[in-house]
Structure 1
Amino acid sequence: MSVPSIDTVIATVDSLLEGALDDARMPAAVEQLRQLFDGSKACHASLGPGLSPADAVSTNSDEAMQRRCYTDLSDEFLRFGDALRAVPVGTVYRDGDLFGLEALRASRGWREWMAPQDMYGGIGCRLGESRTRQWFFDVQRGQRQEPFGPSEVALLQRLTPLLRRVSMLSREVGQLRLQRDEARSALDMVTLAIILVERDGRVVYVNRSADDLLSGPDGLLSLRLSRLVARHPGDQRDLKRLLEGAFGARDEFGGQRSSLILRSDREETQSLSICVVPASPRRADRPSPERLLIALKPLGQVDEIAASSRQLFHLTDCEARIASALAGGLSLAQAAALQGVRISTARTHLARIFQKTDTRQQSQLVALLQGAVPPLRGPL
């Protein structure tokens, strides 16, 4: 093999680091490695129980052939992993030396998978392990190519620390993505609308409840060009001051206002409570927040209050409607008129509601019911 130029090696290194941070770029990185070693095939993979296509990135891949790794040939590859465990982490090995060339060529894995893909001799390096799984890089030469020599082994040995770091980064990034996805799923289950805003005003995340709230045609807030915008100019000025004050605060908002209520002028639209808090703890070198977490809650969620009061306090349908009307801000007379009953009947219902909820005053009842709306949505 001719000695690769320093530019070619650096380009391969850059590609590998990009692949560690972005799965979509890893196939191109592995292909550059194959070209660097003039190989017939290259693979960056992990081995362990429960093999799946996500465990390997290979060049020159035939999909039907690749599927065999994880189905009828999986036992062969798990045995390969057992043999690989004998190789110290960070060490370069030759396939023939590791398994014995005759034993390797007699194996089903070589006859049915390696030989059909022109894999007649390879070198690899063991990159690490975690519990029952381990990572390695392997590059092969074809039947009509010269076997790998000392210079290729030396080059792979020089690259092994980098490949180990790439594997570690890939695992760490994968774990972070998993945690991110789990956090998003959890936030989507919360009935409270949650929004994450950058210092420049861009909205970078909304949970499912916030998306539902902001996408309504008559809502008090909406998203325009990734910015949070209030429907009324006066509300927009108040919202802007609220966010600017929160971003400029250096210690617990420094006495700045951290909440706001947008009042609705339409019966079909609920008023909206807005609360802002820093999205992450302050640091000595960054006393003011870089991002804000905004919590939105429609006020007087009558339907949800009625449903939760029936479930939690065993109220009848009529009692639940009276209770939810009171929790929504109506007086007892207004609640009676809304339900089409006499005020005396509404008082009877209210007495039973007090008994079932263990409250004595309307203010106590309203506070209890408004806090009883379940904080989690149903299954997504």
Structure 2
Amino acid sequence: MDAAALSHLIEQIYDCAIDPALWSSTLEQIAAALDSPAGTLSISDFVTGTERAIVWAGISEHYQALYREQYHLCDLFGHELILRPVDEPATSEQLVAEDELLHSRIYREWAAPQGFRYVLLTALIKSQARLAYIGLTRGPEGGPYDAEEQARMALLAPHVRRAITIADLIDHKTVERGLFADVLDALSTAVLILDGTGGLVHANAAGERLLAAGDVLRARRGTVEPWSDRCGDGAAWSLSRIGQQTGARTLALPRRDGGTAILSVLPLATGRRKAVVAGHMRVAVFVQDQAAAPSRVEALGRTFGLTGAELRVLLGLSEGGSPADVAARYGIAPSTVRTHLKSLFTKTGMRRQKDLMRLLAELP
């Protein structure tokens, strides 16, 4: 790809931030630039376990639905991408052992019937809640993706990531109120919208459950406050006072059960956000537990130098499955799972599966 073609493609990527309908044709051009007949731009939600494709090319509606409904749960690449830096493309050979990939359920039942063999994946956004990535694929006749193609994708990936981020910001600013409420209700994170006095303006479904439980926050006479007056200085914990400040803040609040909740507080009537809620003081409060599973998983993997395959086995066991269950889920040989389990014992210094589960539970 020459400089002019690259520049034109980058311009098209940023156009998608303004008009998301352009993503389809733009993804097709990205795929063509890397000799790939198919690709997808997707988001994996770690909290709900769902997979949402923003756009895809070269994959039929039938196979896209199959992946979303069945095969994303046994995808071999997800845990590897969690351990990779954003904007760093990786080939299927770099992510998963060839024998393990070729014998997996997702390859035998989903990829091979479509003629797909080689994959190039790039993590774009990693957070505690989701993983956004772009993936390209082609058949055996195209051969593995080489270093030049990885470098080409590395040039494009940051622009795709920024375009997604810009589009998110635009969507949040222009979305209609009713649709916005529906979106909030679909979130598993508790979201509360308060007025300038700490009064409750709106709570999504998770926020309603949080207030009803009363173990982090409670609503008393329409005002949201910590579950106990002993949670700290009243002025320091006053959400209405925080809402009148100009910057976002993050607070740690003791839970009734002895844990810790993290409150992210965002004033909605400062800076450019004034145009959205002109004349009204509003503050958004996002509540989540201190220990978020995806970031703990990544920390565990990096601490002990685990591979994505080893993480898959460890998390499968943590869900109550046996090595045979993990093998069946991914369609790999039981002996392969036993090999990964042996490696887990060596790397972590543990001797039994029970010890591995305790290590995972005690990870700060």
What TM-score results when the alignment is normalised by the length of structure 2? 0.46
- Larger Rg computed on CA atoms: 1
Give the TM-score normalised by the residue count of structure 1: 0.44
**Bigger RCO (CA 8 Å, 6+ sep):** 2
